[in-house]
Amino acid sequence: MKKVFITGAARGVGRLLALRLVDRADVVGVDSVRWEGHPGEIHFVQVDPGRRQIEEILREERPDTILHCGLLQDFQASDAQRYDFNLLGTKQLLDLAEHLSVERVLVLSTAMVYGAFADNALALSEDAPRLASRDRTSLRDLVEADYLAEAFCWRVPTIRTLVLRPVHVLGPSCENVFAQYLRLPTVPTVAGFDPMLQCMHEDDLVAAILLALEKNLRGVFNVAGPGAVSLQTVIREVGSAQISLPESLLRFAIPRLGALANFVFPSVLIDYLKFSLLVSGARFEDASGFRCLYDLEETFHGVVRT
Amino acid sequence: MRKTSGAASGSSFARRSASGRSGMTAGLRAFLHSMAPDVIRETQNRVEDCLAHTATEVNEYGFDPFGFHRERAKPFFTACTLLYEKYFRVEAHDIERVPKGRVLLVANHAGQVPTDGLMISAAMLTVAQPPRVARGMSEYWLGALPWLNDVARAMGTAVGTPETCVEMLKRDECVLVFPEGVRGLNKTYAHRYELQPFGTGFMRLALATKTPILPVGVIGTEEQQIGIANLTKLGKRFGMPSLPITLSFPWLGPFGLLPLPVKVHLYFGKPLYFQGSADDEAGVREKVDVVREALATVLQHGRAGRRGVFV
């Protein structure tokens, strides 16, 4: 690994990766947002989502590794915007990777693509279908990007492609929908439901990615955290106030009323607040020898509330 | 050989009334009496002790990987045990036949409400030595029921998918299945103790994980609700697998689903060990029939030995 191209380099896991890799390789980072005060060794470019710019940078820099950490998982943008950004962006990036014959590609997906359903198996393997968009079209961009990356992994054998599906990532710099949900002033849950879920610390995910790169893994892997607990346990441990509300209220009233009060409730999460989504990380752990450094308590306390 | 639990550990009143009086009133009286605070406290302590002696591993927050949680389950197992000892006055026969390590309990399913699963769970927890958590494999729709899904999960039950079952067996759990499914649960009174067709899924999983199978005959629950009809289509419209019509349901509302105070016997059969390929269709069918026959024999033996429906 001589030159690394990182998408989503100004935020969350992408940023943490850029900072960790800067000692070992030339790092080229892009993101749609600014990165104030990034280290001088990192060649960072703020790009606008019209993606010609990325192609130019890639052709010029010719990286051997592409780490695609820029999938939007915070649902701030509209469905259509995210569809363009996540799906078309991933498609273009993978096409370019093939065309420019990079050595390896990482796509950082999410375990949310499996979807939360009442009849989920409780240790989903990587072969389980990604059903998250079955009932809710809001997640189709992430699901389709995941399928695209998986297909690319087997279609282009000359490129070592790694698709990781981590469980909910928590940590001071993470801007995903679940972390945002936990930071709400009062965290609403669905009355009558307290599903099981898994979380992991952002530092653990970064360590997992570095380990996977070191071991030259290819393929699709879940990355499970240190264990499973119920949603209300997470909320309590994070230190948030919790309120149980009827589902109808959460689904219809809160998003509309909340918008007036500048309170953004991620409705896309509601199924995940009702039904358990548990994945098995055994395949990744066997292949890489990865073990979480943070235990459950440390993982929860990594969420900084603002 | 015979192990009684219901009367033996209850109060003297419960013992007297269970043996002295006959008919439905005995069970109801004993049950109402058992609501005394000291009886509940004693049961709760015993349940707590049993739960502490189960082998299921949990993380620092008390959850096992499937959501079982001793603290959360305790009040519900206490209620279950009270029902077990005082209401249904259950007798568990030959429960020591349950082998150590992974095992698949295969039981008959009846009575509109799945008390059979609860009673087997209570027996495995409070009577079996060492105590075990019976991991029930439930209908798909249980996972969607508010509150009930949480309770069931904390008690160790999970929606019955093959993957979950295999994971549990790999962890040497005691998994409880009803291969008749809703066909058994919702059958009408006229068909009581007639085993419905078995699914074959459990046998494939047993073969794949080399798990012994133990038939459990549940006597009594088949008479706890007098089912007279089944409105499957209407039930589906409400998102239920079926809508049972019984003497009391839906006429009395949800209370109509309360089971009659029948006397319940659990007969644990001999463990069956199978070998072969999980993909050999004919072979699997054959082995399923062996289990079904074994369960039918256990049921026949159990019915022959009982004195009446309520005693």
Q: Please report whether residue B248 resides in a domain.
A: no
pLDDT range class, residue A151, cuts 50, 70, 90? very high
Q: Which comes out higher in pLDDT, residue A240 or A258?
A: A240
pLDDT in tens, B97-114: 999 999 999 999 998 889
- The first and second tokens of residue B42, run together, are 């004693």
Out of B119-123, B201-205, B234-238, B295-299, least confident range = B234-238
DSSP β-bridge partners for residue B27:
none
DSSP β-bridge partners for residue A66:
A5, A105
Under a CB-based contact definition with an 8 Å cutoff, are residues B94 and B216 in contact? no
Tell me if chain A has a CB within 8 Å of the CB of B147: yes
Angle at the Cα of B74 from the Cα atoms of B41 and A228, rounded to 5 degrees: 160
Subunit contact B164:A192, Cβ cutoff 8 A: no
Q: Which of B149, B166, B169 is the mutation pick for testing A, counting most A CBs within 10 A? A: B149
Cα–Cα dist B5/B90, whole Å: 7
Q: Give the pairing type, strands A228-230 and B265-268.
A: unpaired
ipTM: 0.91
Out of A188-192, A285-289, B29-33, B124-128, least confident range = B29-33
Nearest one of B115, B92, B293 to B221, comparing CA atoms: B115
Under a CB-based contact definition with an 8 Å cutoff, are residues A104 and A161 in contact? yes
Under a CB-based contact definition with an 8 Å cutoff, are residues A268 and A110 in contact? no
Subunit contact A118:B158, Cβ cutoff 8 A: no
Residue B161 with chain A: CB contacts under 8 Å: 119-122
Nearest one of A275, A280, A228 to A117, comparing CA atoms: A275
pLDDT of residue A52: 83
Count the neighbouring beta carbons within 10 Å of the beta carbon of residue B236.
12
The number of residues in chain A equals 306
Q: Would the pLDDT of A55 be above 80?
A: yes
Q: Please report whether residue B243 resides in a domain.
A: no
Q: Does domain A71-171+200-225+279-295 have CATH number 3.40.50.720?
A: yes
Under a CB-based contact definition with an 8 Å cutoff, are residues A264 and A258 in contact? yes
* Chain A residue set in contact with B, beta carbons under 8 Å: 117-125, 128, 191-194, 196, 226-230, 233, 237, 275-276, 278, 280, 295-297
Q: Please report whether residue B231 resides in a domain.
A: no
DSSP state at residue B272: B
Q: Which comes out higher in pLDDT, residue B3 or A59?
A: A59
The identity of residue A241, as a single letter, is: A
Q: Would the pLDDT of A50 be above 70?
A: no
pLDDT of residue A76: 80
Q: Please report whether residue B50 resides in a domain.
A: yes
Residue entry with tokens 């980072």: A29
pLDDT range class, residue A260, cuts 50, 70, 90? low
pLDDT of residue B20: 41
Cα–Cα dist B213/A144, whole Å: 42
Which chain A residue's Cα is nearest to B162? A121
Q: Which of A114, A119, A131, A280 is the mutation pick for testing B, counting most B CBs within 10 A? A: A119
Contacts of residue B125, Cβ cutoff 8 Å, sequence gap at least 6:
B47, B50, B51, B54, B77, B81, B131, B132, B133, B134
Rounded to the nearest angstrom, the minimum Cα separation between B7 and chain A is 35
pLDDT of residue A20: 96
Subunit contact B163:A124, Cβ cutoff 8 A: yes
The number of residues in chain B equals 311
Domain that holds residue B137: 2-224+259-304
Nearest one of A262, A55, A129, A194 to B63, comparing CA atoms: A194
DSSP state at residue B142: G
Residue B149 with chain A: CB contacts under 8 Å: 118, 192-193
Q: Which comes out higher in pLDDT, residue B235 or B117?
A: B117
Count CA within 13 A, CB hemisphere, residue A55: 10
Q: Please report whether residue B84 resides in a domain.
A: yes
Instruction: Give the relative orientation of helices B201-209 and B281-304 as an angle to the nearest 10 degrees.
Output: 110
Nearest one of A175, A8, A144, A165 to A75, comparing CA atoms: A175
3-state helix, strand, coil in chain A (%, to 5): 40, 20, 40
pLDDT of residue A184: 85
Q: Please report whether residue B215 resides in a domain.
A: yes
Q: Rounded mean pLDDT of A52-63?
A: 93
- Across chain A, mean pLDDT equals 92
Q: Give the pairing type, strands B103-107 and B213-219.
A: parallel
Which of B61, B159, B162 has the CB atom closest to A229's CB atom?
Answer: B61
Tell how far CA A167 is from the center of its chain.
Answer: 8
pLDDT of residue A25: 95
End-to-end Cα separation, chain B, in angstroms: 21
Which of B60, B63, B162 has the CB atom closest to A196's CB atom?
Answer: B63
Which of B59, B140, B158 has the CB atom closest to A227's CB atom?
Answer: B59
Q: Would the pLDDT of A170 be above 80?
A: yes
pLDDT range class, residue A261, cuts 50, 70, 90? low
Contacts of residue A298, Cβ cutoff 8 Å, sequence gap at least 6:
A201
pLDDT in tens, B7-37: 444 444 344 334 444 567 776 777 777 778 8
Cα–Cα dist A109/A95, whole Å: 18
Contacts of residue A146, Cβ cutoff 8 Å, sequence gap at least 6:
A107, A109, A113, A130, A163, A165
Q: Which of B159, B166, B170, B240 is the mutation pick for testing A, counting most A CBs within 10 A? A: B159
pLDDT range class, residue A231, cuts 50, 70, 90? very high
Burial of B215 (0-12, 13-18, 19+ CB in 10 A): buried
Which of B59, B144, B162 has the CB atom closest to A118's CB atom?
Answer: B144
Domain boundaries in chain A?
71-171+200-225+279-295
Most confidently modeled range among B82-86, B120-124, B231-235? B120-124
Tell me if chain A has a CB within 8 Å of the CB of B38: no
Q: Give the pairing type, strands A241-245 and A104-108.
A: unpaired
Q: Please report whether residue B230 resides in a domain.
A: no
DSSP state at residue B191: G
Which of A118, A194, A280 has the CB atom closest to B143's CB atom?
Answer: A118
Subunit contact B67:A122, Cβ cutoff 8 A: yes
Q: Which comes out higher in pLDDT, residue B73 or A304?
A: B73
Subunit contact A123:B163, Cβ cutoff 8 A: yes
Q: Please report whether residue B62 resides in a domain.
A: yes
Looking only at Cα atoms, what is the longest distance across chain B? 55
Count the neighbouring beta carbons within 10 Å of the beta carbon of residue B53.
12
**Domains held by chain B: number:** 1
CA distances from B21 to A17, B15, B263 (A): 75, 10, 13
- Across chain B, mean pLDDT equals 89
Considering chain B, what percentage of its residues have pLDDT values greater than 90? 72
Which chain A residue's Cα is nearest to B66? A122
Nearest one of A64, A62, A26, A59 to A44, comparing CA atoms: A26
pLDDT in tens, B130-189: 999 999 999 888 999 999 999 999 999 999 999 999 999 999 999 999 999 989 999 999
pLDDT of residue A118: 93
